[in-house]
Amino acid sequence: MTARRFSGLVALLAVGSTLAIAGCANDNGRRPDPSYATAAANPFIPANYAAADALLAQLNGKLGNTQPLIIATVVNIDALEQSSTFGRLVSEQISARFSQAGLTMIETKIRNNIYMKRDQGELLLTREIREVAQNHSAQAVIVGTYADSSDFVFVNLKVISPSSNVVIAVHDYALPKDDTVRSLLKAQYRR
């Protein structure tokens, strides 16, 4: 190896080592703390608001402003009696967007399942949720499920007539399974 090549190699190693050490000194293996700017730029809320807007567009003219709607917690499609912080937060944000649109929303704290299964896996509203809807004179019920995959969480939202189980609006969307979504999914709870 010539002296020129050797000195070039040494210089390259010195620069590389300096950059590696500087990189370690700056972040110590930690991510930077979240800021208000990164929170404001987080796409989770806008994605859920866009889903609510899609439902509202389908409902245009089908609902009145005098009777309330009921929203149930979005549940895990593989365990309909379970949800998570993710499911509860999606429900809260959908409800908020409907309220912002001028609709009256009633939250349910149903003890039992929102759905019951039929023979072919078809989901129907339970008698309990229909009774709650009737007691509140609700014109519709918003329900939803989510499916957790390796890279995405798939969400299905429906607006259902409680008297007939007829779906009057539906929207499907997917959220990337980033660190925020993963942490929201970890907290499972039984209804």
What pLDDT digit, counting tens, does each position of 42-92 carry?
999 999 999 999 999 999 989 888 899 999 889 898 888 788 999 999 999
Alpha-carbon distance of 160 to 140, in angstroms, equals 5
Task: State the amino acid at position 42 in one-letter form.
Answer: N
Domain edges within the chain: 1-30, 43-190
Token digits of residue 172: 């499907």
| % pLDDT > 90, the chain | 49
Q: How many residues does the chain have?
A: 191
* Residues 102-131 pLDDT 10s: 999 987 655 445 554 444 444 455 666 777
pTM of the model: 0.76
Mean pLDDT score of the chain, rounded to an integer? Answer: 80
Sequence-separated (6 or more) residues with CB below 8 Å from residue 167: 158, 159, 160
The CATH fold assigned to 43-190 is: Rossmann fold (3.40.50)
Nearest residue to 134 (alpha-carbon basis) of 102, 164, 97 = 164
Q: Is 98 helix (H, G, I), strand (E, B) or coil?
A: helix
